[in-house]
Structure 1
Amino acid sequence: MKDIDEINELLRPLARIGTDEPGGRAGGARAQALLTDIIAQERQPTLAGPPRDRRWARRTLLGLAASVVLALGVVLGPSLLGHGGGTATSYANSAVEIRKEANTYVARIKDPYADQQKFSEAFRALGLNVELRVIPVSPSAVGKIVGMGGTMHSAIPNVPFGAGREPDDCDLADSDCFMVVTVPAVVKDTSSLMHFDLGRQAKPGESYANEWLSATHAGEQLAGAKASGRTVGDVLAEVRKRGLTAEFNLVDVHDSGYELKPLAADQVGANWIVYRVASVRVGVVRLQVTPERNPGLAYDQD
């Protein structure tokens, strides 16, 4: 067999293994067999030709084997080549970069608007059973963890998760400013799940995911205003003064608590009472109101 024929013979099996086939997954039987076959063929003696030709053929096959192994990295995935979550200390995709620094994994958000799956994908690639969502929030919650849950807290008590900015207190509108999430290394390879929500700046017209936060909170659109317990007319005057518009919810009180129901603006009287005000999206707040002061509600929610 000529040398070029040997090269073609080694490369031909690659065309038969796809990443969407069982054999194309990391460590699959067909992929492992292919790698074994390449190594075995490289070791077979050359039966014809002068010594110089045999040495050239051997060097060619060695180089080819190395090239094929690199190509197999695409087909087999990282674990066969030693870059899987078992020993890896870093991972990056288009959305996030995660590095182990001392006893902590530090995740730097590269694209807060990326496909949500990419954030959790990065943690899982490093053996971290952590799910991260990066969600649109009102101004004061940007860059903060606004929701957390899962079984990891009870399985590993007092595990500190963190969020911040890098550099500290930088402006997230700056391309060199990153939202950062920190996860203790102790959670690696645990079966317990941890999931949390990190706030990002909302796009124009995008609704906030944290409507539970009062619009009068520091850093919000009605920061410093007094709303709870006041009349709708008084609160609307403050809303308009700040260049905002208002929507409404009816607070329906019952024995087990209350629920919020949509309410058209023309159904609301100026003398109705505001329970609280929530930020909805940029330039819009939502007044939660009752026709009169309700003894079942604790006002002063500002």
Structure 2
Amino acid sequence: MKSIDEINELLKPLARIGPDEAGERASGTRAQALFTDIIAQERDPATTRAPRRLRTRHRARRTLLGLAASVVLAFGAVLGPSLLGYSGGTAISYANSAVEIREEADTYVARIKDPYADQRKFSEAFRALGLNVELKVIPVSPASVGKIVRIQGGGPFWVRREPEGCDLADSDCFMVVTVPAALKGTSDVMRFDLGRPAKPGESYANEWQSATRTGEQLAGAKVSGQTVDDVLAEVRKRGLTAEFSLVSVDDGGYQLKPLAADQVGANWIVYNVASVRPGVVRLQVTAEREPALEYERD
């Protein structure tokens, strides 16, 4: 049986297998040849002494299996994203650094491994399995974390946390999305955005949401119809800072325009407050109460 030094010597060529395919994947032929060569050397009767005791034989077998497993793991690490299984010639699972997807019964279950990964990796995984699913994992305000914030097309889907009820700020907490297997092979495209926690200073992608909803930065506060001074007092009380938008009413709706703080009067009226990014909210204001706007009841 080979010593640790001999095993390390055999594994050295893995470090020299360079990327020679698109996406920086190492050549499958070269890596496979290395693996075959190592296993063949272990089985060569000319280089293997007969075990003296049954215990030695068992130990030798375990060491050989450990070597093979190490090579397989190294081989997989070099190749990167991979199709993990086949059923009737069709891939039933796929994994890359961002997500792992497995076929389960009549569904595909996607486990988000890295919500901060390159957005393209999420849709890439679904496409590899023949699913027309375009998934984005975007930064959202606290109440929308772990939820679907936009969806277009497709059939029913389910979102959960794993383990159930865990905090997504914890590295051991994962978002899991389930989509119907019936989507496979169809021309229908299912597009949806899944909310993740925002990084410090990162803007929320759903800043249209009210900051007074349960779980948000101004949860439970009364802001609609109140003066700017009154709302700012609550904002500062909660350790937040404020930005401003001017509400301009037009036919059938209204528009929001950026407004500098020194342009806002203390007695102006707040229509709504939205979450912008961690620690920051945006007050939507008018110079006076606007009859066309529907303020929330106190």
Letter in 1 for 2:191: H
1:210 and 2:213 aligned: no
1:194 and 2:197 aligned: no
Q: Are the aligned partners of 2:132 and 2:190 in contact in 1 as well (CA < 8 Å)?
A: yes
Q: Tell me, in whole angstroms, the C-alpha distance in 2 between the residues paired with 1:102 and 1:115.
A: 29
Q: Say if 1:263 and 1:82 are closer, same or farther in 2 by CA, change over 3 A.
A: closer
SS in structure 1 at match of 2:108: strand
Runs of 4+ in 1 over 3 A off after TM superposition: 81-86
Structure 2: runs of 5+ lacking an equivalent: 1-19, 23-74
Give the share of equivalent positions with the same residue, in percent: 76
Out of 123, 136, 139, the position equivalent to 1:136 is 139
CA RMSD of aligned residues (A): 3.0
Equivalent in the alignment of 1:47: none
Normalised TM-score (structure 2)? 0.71
TM-superposed CA distance for 1:256, in Å, is 3.2
**More deviation, 88-97/173-182:** 173-182
1:118-152 deviation per Cα after TM superposition (whole angstroms, max 9, x unaligned): 00000000110000000000011111000011xx4
Q: Say if 1:201 and 1:132 are closer, same or farther in 2 by CA, change over 3 A.
A: same
Out of 139, 164, 171, the position equivalent to 2:167 is 171
Structure number with bigger Rg: 1
Equivalent in the alignment of 1:261: 257
Q: Say if 1:241 and 1:78 are closer, same or farther in 2 by CA, change over 3 A.
A: closer
TM-superposed CA distance for 1:173, in Å, is 2.5
Equivalent in the alignment of 1:108: 111
Equivalent in the alignment of 1:275: 271
Normalised TM-score (structure 1)? 0.70
Q: Tell me, in whole angstroms, the C-alpha distance in 2 between the residues paired with 1:181 and 1:141.
A: 15
Letter in 1 for 2:118: D
Q: Are the aligned partners of 2:151 and 2:192 in contact in 1 as well (CA < 8 Å)?
A: yes
Equivalent in the alignment of 2:148: 145
Out of 289, 294, 297, the position equivalent to 1:298 is 294
TM-superposed CA distance for 1:82, in Å, is 8.5
Q: Say if 1:257 and 1:85 are closer, same or farther in 2 by CA, change over 3 A.
A: farther
TM-superposed CA distance for 1:86, in Å, is 6.6
Letter in 1 for 2:105: A
Letter in 2 for 1:196: F
TM-superposed CA distance for 1:163, in Å, is 1.3
Q: Are the aligned partners of 1:143 and 1:199 in contact in 2 as well (CA < 8 Å)?
A: yes
SS in structure 2 at match of 1:275: strand
Equivalent in the alignment of 1:241: 237
Q: Tell me, in whole angstroms, the C-alpha distance in 1 between the residues paired with 2:207 and 2:192.
A: 17
Q: Tell me, in whole angstroms, the C-alpha distance in 1 between the residues paired with 2:123 and 2:217.
A: 32
Q: Say if 1:78 and 1:216 are closer, same or farther in 2 by CA, change over 3 A.
A: closer
Q: Say if 1:231 and 1:88 are closer, same or farther in 2 by CA, change over 3 A.
A: same
Q: Are the aligned partners of 1:84 and 1:125 in contact in 2 as well (CA < 8 Å)?
A: no
TM-superposed CA distance for 1:175, in Å, is 2.3
Q: Are the aligned partners of 2:85 and 2:92 in contact in 1 as well (CA < 8 Å)?
A: no
Letter in 2 for 1:289: V
Letter in 2 for 1:131: E
Q: Tell me, in whole angstroms, the C-alpha distance in 1 between the residues paired with 2:236 and 2:151.
A: 35
Count of residues paired in the alignment? 231
Equivalent in the alignment of 1:91: 94
Letter in 1 for 2:190: M
Letter in 1 for 2:216: E
SS in structure 1 at match of 2:90: coil
Equivalent in the alignment of 2:59: none
SS in structure 2 at match of 1:89: strand
Equivalent in the alignment of 1:12: none
Equivalent in the alignment of 1:287: 283
TM-superposed CA distance for 1:176, in Å, is 2.1
